[in-house]
Amino acid sequence: GDSVTQMEGPVTLSEEAFLTINCTYTATGYPSLFWYVQYPGEGLQLLLKATKADDKGSNKGFEATYRKETTSFHLEKGSVQVSDSAVYFCALSNFNKFYFGSGTKLNVKP
Protein backbone atom coordinates (compact mmCIF):
# COMPACT_ATOMS: atom_id res chain seq x y z
CA GLY A 1 0.00 0.00 0.00
CA ASP A 2 0.86 3.66 -0.09
CA SER A 3 3.28 4.94 2.53
CA VAL A 4 5.59 7.78 3.47
CA THR A 5 9.02 7.48 5.04
CA GLN A 6 10.84 10.44 6.49
CA MET A 7 14.10 10.79 8.33
CA GLU A 8 14.06 10.29 12.04
CA GLY A 9 14.84 13.16 14.29
CA PRO A 10 15.47 15.10 16.18
CA VAL A 11 17.42 17.37 13.90
CA THR A 12 19.36 20.04 15.76
CA LEU A 13 20.75 23.02 13.88
CA SER A 14 22.17 26.41 14.66
CA GLU A 15 20.34 29.48 13.48
CA GLU A 16 20.99 30.32 9.80
CA ALA A 17 22.08 26.76 9.00
CA PHE A 18 20.82 24.91 5.93
CA LEU A 19 18.00 22.44 6.51
CA THR A 20 17.15 19.24 4.68
CA ILE A 21 14.53 16.78 5.89
CA ASN A 22 14.31 13.73 3.66
CA CYS A 23 11.01 12.23 2.61
CA THR A 24 10.37 9.34 0.25
CA TYR A 25 7.11 7.76 -0.68
CA THR A 26 5.53 4.65 -2.15
CA ALA A 27 2.32 5.08 -4.07
CA THR A 28 0.37 3.91 -7.07
CA GLY A 29 -0.93 6.41 -9.54
CA TYR A 30 -0.28 10.12 -9.16
CA PRO A 31 -0.39 11.26 -5.54
CA SER A 32 -0.20 14.80 -4.26
CA LEU A 33 2.57 15.49 -1.76
CA PHE A 34 2.52 17.77 1.26
CA TRP A 35 4.60 19.08 4.11
CA TYR A 36 2.81 20.01 7.31
CA VAL A 37 4.29 21.68 10.38
CA GLN A 38 3.15 21.20 13.96
CA TYR A 39 4.17 23.64 16.66
CA PRO A 40 4.05 22.48 20.29
CA GLY A 41 0.52 21.93 21.53
CA GLU A 42 -1.07 22.82 18.21
CA GLY A 43 -2.61 21.10 15.22
CA LEU A 44 -0.99 20.71 11.83
CA GLN A 45 -0.54 23.61 9.46
CA LEU A 46 -0.09 23.14 5.76
CA LEU A 47 3.39 24.36 4.86
CA LEU A 48 3.55 23.55 1.15
CA LYS A 49 2.34 21.10 -1.43
CA ALA A 50 2.97 19.79 -4.93
CA THR A 51 0.41 18.03 -7.05
CA LYS A 52 2.44 16.63 -9.94
CA ALA A 53 5.93 15.54 -10.86
CA ASP A 54 8.58 18.28 -11.03
CA ASP A 55 6.33 20.75 -9.23
CA LYS A 56 8.07 22.78 -6.55
CA GLY A 57 6.11 23.81 -3.49
CA SER A 58 7.39 26.77 -1.51
CA ASN A 59 6.34 28.85 1.47
CA LYS A 60 8.08 30.93 4.15
CA GLY A 61 11.51 30.11 2.72
CA PHE A 62 10.84 26.36 2.70
CA GLU A 63 10.70 24.45 -0.55
CA ALA A 64 10.33 20.89 -1.78
CA THR A 65 10.33 19.41 -5.27
CA TYR A 66 8.17 16.47 -6.33
CA ARG A 67 10.67 13.97 -7.79
CA LYS A 68 8.87 11.04 -9.35
CA GLU A 69 12.05 9.35 -10.54
CA THR A 70 13.37 9.10 -7.00
CA THR A 71 9.93 9.10 -5.32
CA SER A 72 11.10 11.87 -3.03
CA PHE A 73 9.84 15.18 -1.67
CA HIS A 74 12.68 16.50 0.48
CA LEU A 75 12.08 19.66 2.50
CA GLU A 76 14.78 22.35 2.37
CA LYS A 77 15.38 25.80 3.78
CA GLY A 78 18.46 27.86 3.21
CA SER A 79 18.62 29.58 6.58
CA VAL A 80 16.61 28.33 9.53
CA GLN A 81 15.42 30.46 12.41
CA VAL A 82 14.68 29.60 16.03
CA SER A 83 11.00 30.08 15.24
CA ASP A 84 11.19 27.18 12.77
CA SER A 85 11.55 24.74 15.67
CA ALA A 86 8.64 22.34 15.30
CA VAL A 87 7.73 18.88 14.08
CA TYR A 88 7.50 18.48 10.32
CA PHE A 89 5.30 15.85 8.67
CA CYS A 90 5.57 14.67 5.10
CA ALA A 91 2.29 13.36 3.68
CA LEU A 92 0.74 12.10 0.50
CA SER A 93 -2.80 12.10 -0.76
CA ASN A 94 -3.98 9.39 -3.11
CA PHE A 95 -7.43 8.03 -3.93
CA ASN A 96 -9.13 9.93 -1.11
CA LYS A 97 -6.67 8.71 1.50
CA PHE A 98 -4.01 10.64 3.37
CA TYR A 99 -0.79 9.01 4.54
CA PHE A 100 1.61 10.63 6.99
CA GLY A 101 5.25 10.09 7.74
CA SER A 102 6.31 9.66 11.34
CA GLY A 103 7.34 13.28 11.75
CA THR A 104 10.76 14.89 12.20
CA LYS A 105 11.40 17.20 15.10
CA LEU A 106 13.55 20.21 14.31
CA ASN A 107 15.36 22.11 17.04
CA VAL A 108 17.02 25.36 16.04
CA LYS A 109 19.42 26.87 18.55
CA PRO A 110 20.30 30.58 18.64
Partner 1 sequence: GAVVSQHPSWVICKSGTSVKIECRSLDFQATTMFWYRQFPKQSLMLMATSNEGSKATYEQGVEKDKFLINHASLTLSTLTVTSAHPEDSSFYICSARDLRGGQGYQETQYFGPGTRLLVL
How many CB atoms sit inside 10 A of residue 64's CB? 27
Please, which residue, 24 or 94, has the CB nearer to partner 1? 94
Min separation Cβ 58 and partner 1, Å: 15
How many CB atoms sit inside 10 A of residue 21's CB? 24
Contact 82, 109 (CB under 8 A): yes
Interface map 14-53 toward partner 1 (x if CB under 8 A): ----------------xxx-x-x----xxxxxx--x-x--
Contact 103, 8 (CB under 8 A): no
Q: List contacts with partner 1 (CB under 8 A).
A: 30-32, 34, 36, 41-46, 49, 51, 89, 93-96, 98, 100-103, 105
